[in-house]
Structure 1
């Protein structure tokens, strides 16, 4: 009887070790797949490009939310604006985590590819303001965007890297078309 009990304990222990190994392997794979790349915030250009890369993915594809959150300075806000049902323009203030919580499901279900088409930068010392014109698609294969707008991005250079302090954006509407000075130059 003691041998049977000992055998059962050893079997359970062996199964537990195997489960832990599989769990660690899975965790390593997930961590590697969604790792943070600190080189993507060393320049203003890389920081803006990374912002567009991490928010963009095809339908059912996961985004690297760790890298997304890594872009933002502590206390940063994402501020979408738009007209409500009463035709009044409103701004909503979100933390990066609140943005993820509010949009993650929709982005994955519908696909969302955001492409920067023009950029105007003003910088002084360690601060910068970027007016970044974008087009949004549900898929890389879409010929026409379903939406356009401008991201007003404020950044600070601190601790040898660029941080996004705020992103304040507005979508283009029939009433408010994007001015030519914020669109790509025609060649």
Structure 2
């Protein structure tokens, strides 16, 4: 019985290794630089109404323990945060992104790096389609990343939408 359990474990571990290698073969180039990682992040969630998203690539961007954390007031006016895994985000928002069309476009970025860690404040504009001139929403994504020597991993995305009480500060807006 022990031999069977060990064999099953080895086969599962081998399968996971092969799958990880095939994902690296497909997507490693998309996480080689900060720019390519952030460009891929915005690109993979964006698309016209009815356009499916590449959720395999989306999940590849994130460290296995990563969180996506929207913050702001709930319907009762209480300020808080919701903690999601990438899979939770897909379950919660994936269908809506496809049903209504959604484009998130970075308009400004500040970057702070120390060693292998980077913190990006990325100002975004949200549109329902590429032909919209004015965004229906703006905000800031606080993105924490880790470079393990081989690639960039998104550790967390913590974000807040702009509101009348909290307009985006000038220092986080594009310079004209």
Structure 2 distance, partners of 1:57, 1:122, is 29
- The answer for the alignment partner of 2:156 in structure 1 is 166
Q: Distance in 1 between matches of 2:76 and 2:85?
A: 26
Q: Which residue of 110, 113, 119 corresponds with 1:129?
A: 119
TM-score for both structures, normalised by structure 1: 0.80
Q: Is the 8 A contact 1:36 1:66 kept in 2?
A: no
Residue 152 of structure 1 deviates from its aligned partner by 0.1
The list of structure 1 runs, each at least 4 consecutive aligned residues, that deviate by more than 2 angstroms after superposition, is none
1:154 alignment partner, one of 126, 135, 144 = 144
| Number of residue pairs matched by the alignment | 152
Residue aligned with 2:65, SS:
strand
Scaled by the length of structure 2, the TM-score of the pair is 0.84
Q: 2:105 maps to what in 1?
A: 115
Q: Which residue number in structure 2 is paired with residue 56 of structure 1? A: 46
Find the counterpart in structure 1 of residue 131 from structure 2: 141
**Higher-Rg member (1/2):** 1
2: CA distance between counterparts of 1:66 and 1:135? 24
Are 2:54 and 1:37 equivalent residues in the alignment?
A: no
- What is the alpha-carbon root mean square deviation over aligned residues? 1.0
- Any idea what the Cα deviations from partners look like across 1:75-112, whole Å, max 9, x if unmatched? 10000112112211110000000000000111111000
